Structure 1
Amino acid sequence: MFKLNRRTKSEYIFDNFNIIIMFLICGITLYPIWYVIVNSLNEGADAANGGIYWWPREFTLQNYEAVFANSGILTSFGVTIAKTVIGTITHVFFTAMVAYAISRRDLYGRKLYMMIGIVTMFFSGGLIPYFLLIRDLGLFDNFLVYIIPTMFNFFHLIIFVSFFRELPPSLEEAAKIDGANDFMIFIKIIVPLSMPVIATIALFQGVYQWNDYFAGVIFVNNPDLQPIQTYLYKVVAESSSNQMMMNAPGSITTKTVTSQSIKLATMVITTLPIVLVYPFLQKYFVKGMLIGSVKG
């Protein structure tokens, strides 16, 4: 006969207390997002009166119509998608190649390279020297400013190196006996075996590329090259929403749409895609942080 483990009264109270606390934390975290969504779905003039907390009082989609009527936001979406896809692929490939070289114990000066890389994690030259470097490289007002400077990240290299060091050396030895060079070993053997860590780093970089607005603010003046997050920054921080109202279709009037309602709708449009995708990919973040932490 098996005896069931019954919880004591104190354990029961403790578990329920934790559940209540977690619900409160989730509510506090999610409510600001819900508040923005609700007010973006309400008529702008009515929302200006306040008192909207849980449900739209005067439901309307004209705020979103006004946003999508502006061709600038569609262009910015295209730039964001392009830089996220291209930037993530190039970052993963280049960082993985460098990490594979660093993980090789026969690499001359490997410890020195690691020390130099660690220093860059804590110290930088500053914004002005970085801006001058970007300008002198011809990347100012260039789409490649989103790609080339982000091709390498030393923290991601450390994660890659930890994973590569766990791969058995016999795989490389067997490939070399068959006549494969280092590049072929990396492409044909290392990359297929490293899909878990590649997925993790791709997620890291993809989220960064989607959310990054700083590069578009500092290094890009051409509005056709600015990503959606920079577009959102300008709508919120400047008077771009007034211009968007002027470009709205004639059926949309300032009685139903205001600059504040357009700002809220723009915030929802720019943040909702990554918010919906992130929960499904959260497990890769945890797995990526644990790679190499347990040795067999």
Structure 2
Amino acid sequence: MAKKRNEVVEDRIFNIVNITLLSLFTVIIFYPIWNIVVQSFSSLDALADSGLRIWPKEFSFESYKLVFNDETIWRSFIISVLKTVLGVLTHVFFTAMVAYGMSKSNIFGRNIYTALGIGTLFFSGGMIPTYLLIRSLGLLDSFWVYIIPSLFSYYDMIIMMNFFREIPDSMEEAAKMDGAGVWKIFLRIILPLSMPVLATIALFNGVFQWNDYMTAKLYISSEALYPIQMKLYEIIVQQEAANMQNVTASVVIPTTSQSVQLATIVIATIPIVMVYPFLQKYFMSGIMIGAVKE
């Protein structure tokens, strides 16, 4: 009895400490995000007063009106949506095709393909050779620079390949006996059964595509093709430049660019936050099933 009581007390102490630490960790992560949202709903005059807030000071939609009235931000938002949706669909489909082929042990040259693929995980050509390759392909200042270089990922292929290996061969053999070809088996059987891993890879690639601004910074010079993250980067750079000029001239720092920056951050975050709950149920199952080999 005494031993059981000690175990109960130890469990309670562990739970209290665990909940306390996790709650503190949650607050540390969540509050900076909440502070950005709060300040984005504060008036332009209230933004001049720096500091952390729990609730908006002088509640106002001025920042969002400035963002919604800016046609360039709307255009950048549309570019981000298009490149994310198209990039995810093409990336998942092309990576799944390669993974399905590589999941077959009798494929010709499989060991060579595996060795070459593993090499890409450790070595890359570097920024300058990659830029020269993009230029030679005619992808500079093109929307397709967001899509074509991201069609395939060997790391994602490994996850998918291990998942496909878990699908019983008897299902494919039965489909072949009914006259189904490779493409029909892949599209009608393999892909529908692989929704957990497909959703997981889609989430990975979708977050990358939505948050990516370096591609636009390196390969895009036309503002008409800027995604929302690149537009946000420009706003931040302009604000920092204006702040430096104001400090040098000893004048009051304007808050207009800061308000647009905060509102743009909130708007740019909303789509990912809305999509994540729908894919979360597939997330853990896709990772675990695709990564564990019994």
Same fold (TM over 0.5): yes
Unaligned runs of 5+ in 2: 243-251
Cα displacement (A) at 1:30:
0.6
Within 5 A, what are the aligned runs for 1:79-228? 79-228=79-228
> Residue 44 of structure 2 corresponds to which residue in structure 1?
44
| Partner SS for 1:221 | coil
Match of 1:272 among 270, 273, 281: 270
Q: Is residue 2:290 matched to residue 1:285?
A: no
Partner amino acid, structure 2, of 1:165: R
- Partner deviation per Cα, 1:72-127 (whole Å, 9 max, x = no partner): 01001111111111111111111110111111111011111111111101110000
Counting matched residue pairs gives 282
Partner amino acid, structure 2, of 1:291: I
> Residue 76 of structure 1 corresponds to which residue in structure 2?
76
> Residue 259 of structure 2 corresponds to which residue in structure 1?
261
Mapped partners of 1:10, 1:196: distance in 2 = 38
Mapped partners of 1:144, 1:174: distance in 2 = 40
Within 5 A, what are the aligned runs for 1:13-24? 13-24=13-24
Contact 1:67 1:262 in 2 (8 A): yes
| Partner SS for 1:291 | helix
| Partner SS for 1:224 | helix
TM-score with structure 1 length normalisation?
0.88
Contact 2:199 2:283 in 1 (8 A): no
| Partner SS for 2:96 | helix
Cα displacement (A) at 1:65:
0.4
Cα displacement (A) at 1:275:
2.9
Contact 2:79 2:228 in 1 (8 A): yes
Within 5 A, what are the aligned runs for 1:62-73? 62-73=62-73
Please report the RMSD computed on the Cα atoms of aligned residues, expressed in angstroms: 2.4
Cα displacement (A) at 1:239:
4.6
Contact 1:235 1:241 in 2 (8 A): no
Higher relative contact order, structure no. (Cα contacts within 8 Å, ≥ 6 residues apart): 1
Identity %: 50
Partner amino acid, structure 1, of 2:72: G
> Residue 34 of structure 1 corresponds to which residue in structure 2?
34
Partner amino acid, structure 1, of 2:98: V
| Partner SS for 2:115 | helix
Contact 1:91 1:150 in 2 (8 A): yes
- Higher share in helix: 2
| Partner SS for 1:238 | helix
- Partner deviation per Cα, 1:267-289 (whole Å, 9 max, x = no partner): 11112321343355334332222
**C-alpha spacing 1:255/1:150, structure 2 compared with 1 (3 Å):** closer
Cα displacement (A) at 1:178:
2.9
